[in-house]
Amino acid sequence: MKLRLGTRGSRLALAQADIAKKALEGLGFNVDLVIVRTKGDICKDRPVEELERGTFVKEIERKLFEGNIDLAVHSAKDMPSKLPEGLEVVAYLKREDPSDCLVTPDGRKLDELE
């Protein structure tokens, strides 16, 4: 079965989509990546905090509803807490190494930040 997997075109999104693509191919699916430009990708001159909620997912959701893609990969940080009627999260990929670190210019620790 052929699937069209929607993703943003950022390096992070493409890396995540490639992981999902390989997982689906391991299950016997034939997967094509479909890059979707979102408002968040187009408005690069504005700080992220000034963009409206859902800026990085609304266009991908529209493509799902229109039938232009069969499924999508998102960073959980970009997902709204409540999905539009008709969409649902059906899978999460295995978590990778969670050992991110915080580096501050003045050496403050996380609990010391305001």
Can you read off the two tokens belonging to residue 101?
């670190």
pLDDT digits (tens, 9 = 90+) for 4-49: 999 988 888 999 999 999 999 999 999 999 999 876 666 566 665 6
Concerning whether 78 is annotated as a catalytic residue, the answer is: yes
> Bridge-partner residues for 4, per DSSP?
32
The pair phi, psi for residue 50, each rounded to 5°, is: -90, -15
At residue 18, the pLDDT reads 96
Q: Of all residues in the chain, what percent carry a pLDDT higher than 70?
A: 85
Average pLDDT across the chain, whole number: 85
pLDDT at 54 over 70: no
Q: Which residue is catalytic, options 41, 70, 78, 111?
A: 78
* Per-residue model confidence as pLDDT tens digits over 55-108: 678 888 999 999 999 999 988 877 778 888 999 998 888 877 777 778 888 888
pLDDT value, residue 102: 80
Q: Which of 3.40.250.10, 3.40.50.720, 3.40.190.10, 3.20.20.10 is the CATH number of 2-112?
A: 3.40.190.10
The three-state secondary structure class of 6 is strand
Per-residue pLDDT, 65: 95
